[in-house]
Copies of this chain bind each other. A is one copy, B any other.
Amino acid sequence: MKKVLDHGYISYINHWGSDESIIIGARMSTGKGFIGWGTTENPGDEKLLKYLWKNRHTSPFEQCGVSFEVQAPLMVFREWHRHRTQSYNEFSARYAQMPNLHYIPLLSRIKKQSETNKQATGNEELPQEVIVEFLNRLEKEQQMIYNNYQWALDQGIAKEVARINTPVSRYSRMVVSANLLNWLRFLGLRLAPNAQWEIRQYAEAIKLEMEKYFPRTLELFKEQPI
C-alpha cells in the first residue's frame, strides 16, 4: 500500500501478463513468439518493444493489466471516472455510512489562480493569514456537514438522502482494473503538468507500481509519454 494525499492510498491487488506478453501479442502477426530481450550489443525483443511503442502499435499493450484498490477524495474520482475503459466498483453512500475522512490540502498547495492558464493554480503566493483562514473554513465546513449527516442518520433519514451535501473533498474507495494500454493513457493525461495536482499524486503512485510489473514498457513511456 502506498499513501497518497492526507488519507488516501493505492493498494495493488493483482496484475496479469508482463512486458513479454506485449511481445507475444505483437509476434502473433508473424506467428513467432518471444525470443529474448537481448543485450545492449544484440538487442532482440528490446528493439521490437521500442519499435511498437515509438510507432504507436498500441494493441499488444492491451494483453496485460493491473487492478488496484484506491482511496481518494470524490473530486479525484470525478476526474478518474471519465476514463471509460476502466472497470470500477466504488463504495456506495446509498448502502453504507461514509467515514468521516476528508481531504485538507497542504499549506503549500494554496496559491493564486494562474494568470496565464485559466484552469490552473499559479505560482504566486498568498498572504499566510488567507491560507490559514481558508484551511480553517474548509475543516469547519467538513465537520459541520459530517455532524449534520450523522444527525440525519440518527433521525432515521434514508442514507441516500442524508448524504446530499457530501463535499467532494470526502474520501471514497474503489477497486479499479484496466489493461496496460489504458493505464498508460491514464498516466499520459494525469501526469501531465496541466492535470490537477491531486490526481497527479495518484498517477505518480500508480506509475511507481506499474514499474514493478512492466519495467521495460514504463521506461519507454517515460522517454515518450502517450
Contacts and interface: CB of A to CB of B under 8 A. Distances in A.
Given A29-B92, A167-B168, 4 more contacts: A13-B21, A28-B175, A121-B161, A145-B167
Interface in A156-202: 156-161, 163-169, 173-175, 177, 179, 196
16 contacts: A14-B16, A16-B65, A24-B175, A28-B173, A28-B175, A62-B177, A63-B175, A75-B163, A81-B81, A111-B157, A111-B161, A126-B157, A137-B151, A142-B165, A145-B167, A164-B167
A100 interface: no
B82 A112 contact: no
Q: Chain B CB within 10 Å — which of A87, A92, A142, A159 has the most?
A: A87
Interface of A: 13-17, 21, 24-26, 28-31, 59-60, 62-63, 65, 67, 69, 74-75, 78, 81-82, 84-85, 87-92, 94-96, 99, 103, 105, 109-114, 118-122, 124, 126, 130, 134, 137-138, 141-142, 144-145, 148, 151-152, 155-161, 163-169, 173-175, 177, 179, 196
